[in-house]
Amino acid sequence: MTDIDDQASTQTSTGWLSPEDLELVRANVPTVYVDAVPVRVDALGNVTEVGLLLRVAADGTISRMVVSGRVLFGERVREALMRHCEKDLGPMALPRVPPNPTPFTVVEYFPNPERSGFYDPRQHAVSLAYVVPVEGECEPTQEALDLMWFPPDEAVSDEVRSQMTGGHDRLIRLALAHVGKLP
Amino acid sequence: MTDIDDQASTQTSTGWLSPEDLELVRANVPTVYVDAVPVRVDALGNVTEVGLLLRVAADGTISRMVVSGRVLFGERVREALMRHCEKDLGPMALPRVPPNPTPFTVVEYFPNPERSGFYDPRQHAVSLAYVVPVEGECEPTQEALDLMWFPPDEAVSDEVRSQMTGGHDRLIRLALAHVGKLP
Amino acid sequence: MTDIDDQASTQTSTGWLSPEDLELVRANVPTVYVDAVPVRVDALGNVTEVGLLLRVAADGTISRMVVSGRVLFGERVREALMRHCEKDLGPMALPRVPPNPTPFTVVEYFPNPERSGFYDPRQHAVSLAYVVPVEGECEPTQEALDLMWFPPDEAVSDEVRSQMTGGHDRLIRLALAHVGKLP
Amino acid sequence: MTDIDDQASTQTSTGWLSPEDLELVRANVPTVYVDAVPVRVDALGNVTEVGLLLRVAADGTISRMVVSGRVLFGERVREALMRHCEKDLGPMALPRVPPNPTPFTVVEYFPNPERSGFYDPRQHAVSLAYVVPVEGECEPTQEALDLMWFPPDEAVSDEVRSQMTGGHDRLIRLALAHVGKLP
């Protein structure tokens, strides 16, 4: 989970916080996050590929990870989901945010890596995780270095898992289980 | 639930049954069905309209209803879902069958209308119900007389509900609840 | 949504905030909440009754409402759910928090009542909503004046709905739809 | 998936079929099944153990497997779920069938093992799969030889997986993913 918004933020009235206030918040209450697992689907809706970004993760490593970011004050969850997808996948990705507001799982990130297996050194975040089919052309933007697509069996392979941190490898498996494609 | 396939069917090897055998089956075991609630969504995935077919229902009345039909021997659930959507909504409807195989509810139709509130005089059917966004042009085909789109509040109005039988009005409410749009 | 914890809170290290800091947080970021709809179930798991508390709601009215409260820093979602159920229903309620961490819906409360239809004048809260079967004896504690059990059709009746605010009447309908018991 | 009912059945009026008619049905239409993954949960609802039966599987091998069986004509899905749990786990198991009728996944068993990865040489079955917490004492009955409880990490270990056939090892992983306990 990285969130470049946070550095750039200034206006509290629109949900942006100064770095100091964001620090205070993060030290005291859980943050609301969304995680989006981008997927390619075939004509019948079967997931054929999972998209993984290459970027600087919350722990400072360069890792493969999903789309992730916080929900701003006043923002609807699906607006946040769309905003982060567009920010990370580019304006032509055409993400299909599902009509159902229920996430496929709730990911609880803690500063203590033992707490839940999902880890964020900066904060306790409660993240609503969605599988988001994308139909358009993706070009990773802003801080992402790369976006690669993996078939389900590769996405959960030891090689790809070794490139993920913070529990994102487990999140991919939960997402694939949700769509019935866990190898 | 109507199913024109049944009348036309002959080849058991492909899952089609003779009318006599279908009768025997229907008198003895539950039938596997799919129900699809066609919806229009906006760019953020919010359901804006629900599509209702006008057709001869299982009980012989002309009713507003959702896409519905049985799963054939050897057929995947999502293949059945796509087949029935194309049959009822036309070849240009572009239904987006969700990647998750889990239905939003399981509808149990019984010949006894008191059993579950979902009624089919012909059979006991266990139906997997999905909300299916459609993006293309719909033209009702085969036995459907008409397809109309209703905003959520109209779809659950007394007027529209009075045109539905067999519990399909309740199915619409369950679908709208699932997508967070029950008025 | 009321939360007596907030007034009593002092220790930030355990997730409690001073009233001033809570104010700052609430003015700037969404708060993580849980909502629990207490239900009675029969031996087959069918929901037979919905429990509604009578208490001072977020808007100051005395209303019928579900169990609701925030997730503290460092707390797991299911710990928060259990804590609020015990706080509101008493220590002998025996709530059966479901093994699946996915809520049946995500409720977005906003200070602006038009934003989502779910209203909290104090904050923007993102609430994970669960149906929680309770098997033991309930005695409303702390600030709740009363707990009453309603069969599904009464729980969604005009009379009961008129005693609810902030969208909790809609939440009940979403919960009943989820368990297939929306009348 | 084994189903001793089928051999013993005679009365079509109560949903039982003669072996010949069951054969005809199975050769022509998909059968409605339920799968139940028995689990032990702690006080907070966390899954701590998965129960696996040892019995003769559909393919004739002695395998570890979940509770599984068909839905009879006229039977509600949750009645079938309870009946099969009691049949396989004994009368004191106290299964807690979830109030939500939606399965965590839909398992499609085919006579062709390549079709979906879930295999039943006898039939095409569409199975609604549930995670069912059991609170009482289990004693495997009828054709089950044994019931053993495994912590999540053992339940998905290579050793236990090698004792499962027909895709039940994958079903266990999907169930554990659903409850957020996939290792």
Q: How do residues D39-56 score in pLDDT, each as one tens digit?
A: 999 999 999 999 999 988
Percent of chain D with pLDDT over 70: 91
Within 8 A of C101 by CB-CB distance, chain A residues are 105-106
* Distance in Å, alpha carbon of B50 to nearest chain D alpha carbon: 22
Q: What is the pLDDT of residue A2?
A: 44
Q: With 70 as the cut, is the pLDDT of residue D13 above it?
A: no
Single out the residue of D13, D23, C44 nearest to residue B124, CA to CA: D13
| Residue of C115, C156, C174, C179 to mutate, interface with B, max B Cβ within 10 Å | C174
Q: What is the pLDDT of residue C98?
A: 95
Q: With 80 as the cut, is the pLDDT of residue A16 above it?
A: no
* D122-132 pLDDT per residue, tens: 999 999 999 99
Q: What is the pLDDT of residue A66?
A: 96
Within 8 A of D101 by CB-CB distance, chain B residues are 105-106
* Distance in Å, alpha carbon of A123 to nearest chain D alpha carbon: 21
Residue ranges of chain C with per-residue pLDDT less than 70: 1-16, 142
User: In chain C, which residue's Cα lies nearest the Cα of B117?
Assistant: C183
Q: With 80 as the cut, is the pLDDT of residue D29 above it?
A: yes
Q: What is the pLDDT of residue A30?
A: 96
Q: What is the pLDDT of residue A8?
A: 37
Q: With 80 as the cut, is the pLDDT of residue D155 above it?
A: yes
Q: Show the beta-strand stretches assigned E in C5-163.
A: 31-41, 47-56, 62-65, 67-70, 105-109, 125-133, 146-150
Contacting residues for B125 by C-beta, under 8 A, at least 6 apart = B1, B30, B31, B32, B33, B70, B107, B108, B109
**Residue C51 region by backbone torsions, left for phi larger than 0, else alpha for psi between -120 and 50, else beta:** beta
Q: Are A145 and A43 in contact (CB under 8 A)?
A: no
Least confident of B10-24, D96-110, D154-168: B10-24
Per-residue pLDDT of chain B (183 residues; tens, 9 = 90+): 444 444 333 333 445 678 887 788 888 899 999 999 999 999 999 999 999 999 888 778 899 999 999 999 999 999 999 999 999 999 999 999 999 999 999 999 999 999 999 999 999 999 999 999 999 999 888 678 899 999 999 999 999 999 999 999 999 999 999 999 998
Within 8 A of A47 by CB-CB distance, chain B residues are 99
Single out the residue of C55, A130, D107, A67 nearest to residue B101, CA to CA: D107
Q: With 50 as the cut, is the pLDDT of residue D2 above it?
A: no
Torsion A94-A100-A102-A104 (CA) sign: negative
Q: Per the CB < 8 Å rule, is D177 touching A180?
A: no
pTM reported for the whole predicted model: 0.91
* A74-127 pLDDT per residue, tens: 999 999 999 999 999 999 999 999 999 999 999 999 999 999 999 999 999 999
Tell me how long chain C is.
183
Q: With 70 as the cut, is the pLDDT of residue A159 above it?
A: yes
Q: Are strands B31-41 and B125-133 parallel, antiparallel or unpaired?
A: parallel
Q: Per the CB < 8 Å rule, is B78 touching A45?
A: yes
Within 8 A of D39 by CB-CB distance, chain C residues are 99
Q: What is the pLDDT of residue B57?
A: 81
Q: What is the pLDDT of residue A20?
A: 80
Pick from C21, C70, C124: CB nearest A73: C124
Q: With 90 as the cut, is the pLDDT of residue D136 above it?
A: yes
